[in-house]
Structure 1
Amino acid sequence: MSDAIDLDAYLQRIGYRGAPKPDQTTLRALAVAHAAALPFENLDPLCGVPVQLELDALERKLLYQGRGGYCFEQNLLFAAALRMIGFTVQGLIARVLWNQPEDAVTAQTHMLLRVEADGESWLTDVGFGSMNLAGALRLEPDVAQVTGLEPFRLLERNGEWRMQACVRGDWLTLYRFDLEPRASVDYVVANHYVSTYPSSNFVQHLIAARTTQDRRLTLRDREFTVRRPGMEPERHTLPGSEDICRVLEQEFLLRLPDRTRLLQKLDALPQ
């Protein structure tokens, strides 16, 4: 895959001002801005529309059509922007353990990035939905690292790493991974699986998320939730499909595709 994108259009889309440099300050700022501007969403898999990972398709969808996407789309676009700025970036792949037992054996269905900046290795991930890492972590185990929201940390044992977040006092694992760089075909295969397999959450459920500097917004089917650090979650049930569309547009900043087709899918969501 070519890594050339319209960097100016990307920076404008995420609201980044200034001249980006390949340093940790820029890396953190870009990740925060990206997570706030480009929402996690699965409208294409939900509606049976193929998810394309070619960069021209990602540019068209995320930069010009007012859409978001899920991990492969988000992190492939972010990696391309980082490389154009001058960062060295490697794509990794992970097994998701969020809301799963620690010893669960899950498929490799999540993408994250290893980035070199200021002589150090960092991990960043703008595509993990409800627990998006809005920032970057030093590739250093057993150290709690501050982000704008929850603390995060990395654990390592025998070459296997785990990404964890401290949620209301408990360290919870998001996913496990190794540091083997992955070829683009690995993401193509995983993307096809999660976007078309009949039992995939992305096919069966509406999922959206957006992470700002002070809160996390999530939507699963008809439940819209706002989470702020140190506060009880605010939960709202959206009874009608038009209510869901309104929240997708106003809270998740999405320009909705093919409204007729989308409304048919939303009408079928469980009450």
Structure 2
Amino acid sequence: MPKPVVPEEARRRRRPTKNGAVLSERLIVETALRMLREHGSAGLTVRRLGTALGADPSTLYRYFSGIDDLTLAIGNMLVGRALACWEDTGDWRADLRDLGLRIHAAYLEHPQAAVLTASRVTGKGYEVAADETTLGLLRTAGFPDSEAVRIYHAFIDQSLAFAALDAASLALPAAARTADEEVWRATYARLPAATHPHIAATAHLLVARMNHSAYPTALEMLLDSASTRLAEVRRGDGGGDDGGRSGGSG
């Protein structure tokens, strides 16, 4: 059974740790992020984290019920970094594109943490704010509620799926990542047109593109589809709403 987390007002430690730092949720999460970057998920334990903070490991249970609770907090912080300095310009498509690219980039800054957290639902503040923001952009643009939820679902899952995929590649040992990247040049680019005409015809393009993330392209395709659907809604084509009201006329 997980240990109960002490309420925030009662768990603040006023005395500094052996490292001279005053413990806080943010400090613990930031230290955990550094440990993940340096040692991977296997290196993140309560004991090691306590050592890195200069605190007794048991102290961490005043802030988190365990490593899984800490993992959720890490995911929440990554989303928070994506939201930092983001502004609503009133252009739903540009704003959604910017938000998606920020989420993707925030996760890729910490590949090991992204692999660990991209599939999780935290229910914490920054994640909830990102969900509210995304739904707000869509509903205010004029999407009926059922369409807004459908597009939101595709948008957030696409962002996190590509973050996890691209982060997994970045988290590989350098030699393995280089070997994977070289396959496009060493294997695909050398396939003969007689047996693989389509690969041979596009080999130079595959070599140029396939070692880069497809997320910007996939995101643009999603936005194209959403824009087309919004135009249909405004013309009264298709409908398909569940009776929910949209947030504005766009």
Q: Same-fold call, TM > 0.5?
A: no
Which is higher, the Rg of structure 1 or of structure 2? Answer: 2
TM interval, short-chain normalised: under 0.3
The answer to which structure has the higher helix fraction is 2
Higher strand share: 1
Q: TM-score, structure 1 length as denominator?
A: 0.24
